[in-house]
Amino acid sequence: MKQLTEQDFFFCFTKKLSIFLKSEGIPYIIKAKSIKDNAIYTVYQKTDELQRALDKYKEIN
C-alpha cells in the first residue's frame, strides 16, 4: 500500500475555487482553519478529475 504524503493533496485557500470545485462534484477531504492566520481552507486528494476541474477553472478565470 502506498503511503500518502503532502504531495498527494491539493490545499485550497480560495473560497471561490472551493465553491467551483464543489459545483463540479469534487468533494473535499477536510475543511479546516489555519493556525497562522485563521484562514479557512479545504483539502482535496489529487486525482485526474480534480486536475480537469482545476484546468477548467483556469480557463474560465
DSSP assignment of 21-59 equals: HHHTT---SEEEE-TTT--EEEEEE--HHHHHHHHHHHH
| Grid cell in block for residue 30 | 477536510
Tens of pLDDT, residue by residue over 18-61, are: 999 999 999 999 999 999 999 999 999 999 999 999 999 999 99
Q: Is pTM beyond 0.85 here? A: yes
Find the largest Cα–Cα distance for the chain: 38
